[in-house]
């Protein structure tokens, strides 16, 4: 596996990051990934050379971090790049924000669950409109000075808020964002174009979550009628487990992008999932390290197969162009 630079951090990471939000997660009463499977997935990822692991304080009510910590305890911590997040609280029902109190308490909890002295990357999970960003940045800057956090990232936010955070860090000489984690996949591009423009301009690494649109771009779903939301969903898939699936991931634009992805997958002797992930890895304007999630080792192995796919410029552009109709108008996303 060839490692790549993570923005300006200097960190060398695997070209794919293992996402662990399913660890301990229950959807409609179904446990998506149990402890044993979580450890199997981590081991399979590491065996293939993967070294970048993404989690959050609240994933699985803390089980995600606990299980990663158990797994890391039997390995050399320095071999892995571990990212976690804060905003929602695991310790206080009053402190779900980015106040200094909550940021410090949540990082402390994450370090304890992970059994480590530091986080390689701490993402602000959301932008807190109620807490002045300079207060949050100062709290994180203190954690960096203490050696408990190495780099700072931002997940879901508007482009102007990302820019505001970068400006405040520059003016006040605080540790600035170097990594971002937006929702971004082949069928969801214009929606975050301004955010990505900021990342490209400021040389920020982009680690998109839901790179397969919650599984929609794996090709496992077929259109069942003329309506956008009519689809055939195999038993046990996310469309059946997650009530938000249709609103989050299914769109007219998505169906057209999926058609292009399927065609190119046939041309490349690859799966649609591999093509969709490769398209993200090949982003030309910024370092892009997609966060892949899997419920089984077989799914993980398929996703890692994206590293063996080679897209031509024409194929890459064809996926971009699939968003537009014959009149050059974007297909709707809802």
- Any idea which residues carry the catalytic annotation? 59
CA nearest 268: which of 316, 206, 203? Answer: 316
Q: 284: which 2 tokens?
A: 């030309």
What are 222's strand-pairing partners?
232
Q: Is residue 10 classed exposed, middle or buried when 0-12, 13-18 and 19+ CB atoms within 10 A define those classes? A: exposed
Q: Is residue 39 classed exposed, middle or buried when 0-12, 13-18 and 19+ CB atoms within 10 A define those classes? A: middle
CB 43 within 8 A of CB 67: no
Q: 47: which 2 tokens?
A: 């065996």
Round to whole Å and give the CA distance between 196 and 209.
14
Residue 173 CB: number of other CB atoms within 10 A?
Answer: 9
Dihedral through CA 250, CA 256, CA 258, CA 263, nearest 10? 170
Q: 174: which 2 tokens?
A: 């605080």
């Amino acid at each position: 596996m060839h490692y790549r630079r993570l923005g300006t951090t200097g960190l060398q990471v695997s070209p794919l990051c293992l996402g662990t939000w399913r660890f301990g997660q229950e959807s409609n009463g179904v446990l998506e990934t149990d402890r044993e499977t979580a450890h199997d997935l981590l081991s399979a990822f590491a065996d293939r050379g993967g070294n970048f692991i993404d989690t959050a304080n609240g994933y699985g009510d803390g089980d995600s971090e606990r299980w990663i910590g158990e797994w890391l305890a039997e390995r050399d911590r320095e071999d892995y790049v571990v990212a976690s997040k804060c905003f929602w609280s695991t310790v206080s029902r009053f402190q779900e924000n980015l106040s200094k109190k909550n940021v410090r308490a949540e990082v402390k909890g994450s370090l304890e669950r992970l059994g480590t002295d530091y986080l390689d990357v701490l993402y602000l999970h959301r932008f807190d409109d109620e807490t002045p960003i300079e207060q949050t940045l100062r709290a994180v800057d203190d954690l960096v000075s203490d050696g408990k956090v190495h780099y700072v990232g931002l997940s879901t936010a508007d482009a102007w808020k990302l820019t505001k955070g970068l400006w405040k860090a520059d003016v006040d000489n605080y540790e600035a964002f170097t990594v971002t984690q937006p929702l971004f996949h082949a069928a969801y591009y214009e929606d975050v174009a301004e955010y990505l423009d900021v990342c490209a301009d400021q040389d920020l690494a982009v680690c998109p979550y839901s790179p397969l649109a919650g599984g929609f771009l794996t090709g496992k779903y077929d259109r069942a009628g003329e309506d956008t939301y009519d689809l055939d969903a195999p038993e046990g898939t996310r469309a059946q487990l997650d009530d938000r699936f249709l609103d989050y991931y299914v769109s007219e634009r998505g169906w057209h992008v999926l058609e292009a992805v399927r065609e190119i997958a046939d041309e490349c002797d690859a799966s649609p999932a591999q093509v969709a992930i490769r398209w993200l890895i090949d982003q030309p304007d910024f370092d892009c390290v997609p966060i892949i999630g899997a419920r089984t080792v077989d799914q993980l192995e398929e996703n890692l197969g994206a590293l063996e796919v080679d897209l031509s410029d024409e194929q890459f552009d064809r996926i971009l162009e699939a968003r537009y109709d014959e009149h050059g108008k974007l297909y709707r996303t809802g």
